[in-house]
Structure 1
C-alpha cells in the first residue's frame, strides 16, 4: 500500500472518487429492490430471471470495486484488465436478460464453459452496446493479453520504467470515468428493465466526462429513438425496427468477416 499515491488520488481525483461512493450507495438500494422483487415473484420464470440477476449483479460490482481499489492504490494496468472483464459481464448480462424465452439464461447456467457460440461483438451488437464494445473492449483487450500497449504504461520520460505501484493522474481519472459511466448506465438499465420505480440515479452528481460517456454509450439508442419519433412509430413498430437494425449489423459484420477470410487465402 502506498499512502502517497492514495493521498494524491483522493486530492486530485476527488470528483471521480466521490462519484464512486455515491454509485455504491445507489447500487445497494437497487440490489435491495431487486431482492424485494425476487421475494415477491409469483412465477417460476420471474424467479429464474431474478435469481440470475442477483448472481451476476454481485459479480459486476465485485469487479467494479476491485478496479476502483486498484486505481486508488496505483495499480493502473490491473484496473484496466478488470475493466475488460466488467465490460464483458455487462454485455453478457444484458444479452441474456433481453431474451424473453430464457433460453440464453438456461444455457448460461447449464454450460459453464461454453454457454454460447456467439462472439462478444455479436452479443454487443444485439443489445445496442456496439459503442461500448468497439471503443473500450478492444482497447482493454490489449492489457489483458499483455500486448506492448500494456507494458508501455510503465515507461516514462527517458525510457525510465516505473515500478508498481505508480500514479498518473490522467490514467486514474480516465479509468474511473469510464467505469463510473458504465455502471451508471447498467444500473439505469436494470431499474428500467425490472420497473423498480427508483429515481435515485437522477440525483447523482455526474461530471461532464462521465455524462458525455453515458451519452456515447447510448448513441445508437438515441438515433433509433429519434427515428421512431420522426416516423411516428408505435412501441411495437419501434421494437421490431430496433430488432431488425441490430440483426442487420450482425449480418453485415458476418459478410465483412467472410470477405476478409477469402482475401487472406
Structure 2
C-alpha cells in the first residue's frame, strides 16, 4: 500500500485530496497544525469507511514540529511514496506593494515557501526509499508571472503583493527541486487546485474543494512516464493543464 503525507489536510483542498487518495487505496498521513482538528478530520473519513489514515501533528512553520512528525512517521514506515505540500495561508487583505508590512511577508513566506522547504528536506530520505516517489507542491495560477504581465488575462487587475509572491517563489523552488532530482524516479510538480470555495478564500471560489482535491491527487498518482518540473492548472488550461510560469 502506497503512503502519502499531506500537510494542512484537516480541511479544504487538503482534506479532499486525502479523501481522493484514500479511495484509490493509499495510506494517508493527515498533517494538521492542530492535532485536535486533524483527529476530527480523521473521524469524518472513518465515518465514510476510509480507514487507512491517521492524523499527525505538523506545523510547517515550526522545525521542531516538522522533525517530530518525521520521527513519528519514520517509526511506522521507512517508505513515503508521496509528499503533498498543501498547507498555506493567504496573508489577508489588502496586500499593497507599497503598504504591506514586513510581518505580512514573513508570515506568508514562512508557511508557503519555508514550510515547504522544511517538510521536503525532512522527509526526502523516506521519499528516496520509494520506487516511484512523487512531490506535489500546491501552487496557484494566480502566481504566474507570465499571466500577471498580460493585460489580456482575465485576472490581470487582481494584483496582490504578498501571497502571489510567495507562490511564485514556491514555483522556483519546485523547478530547482525537480532539476536536482532529475535522472531519478522522482516526479516533482506544482499544481493549482483552481479557484475553489474553501475557508482559504472565504468560500468565494467558483469551484468545489472536491474538484481541487481531484486535481492534486491526479498528479500525486502519475506514472513513470509522467511529467516533472512542470506547473499545472486544469482550470486555466482544461486541455493539458500546462500553465506558464
TM-score, length of structure 2 as denominator length:
0.27
Whichever structure has more strand as a proportion of its residues is 2
For the pair shown, the structure with the greater C-alpha radius of gyration is 1
Higher relative contact order (CA 8 A, sep 6+): 1
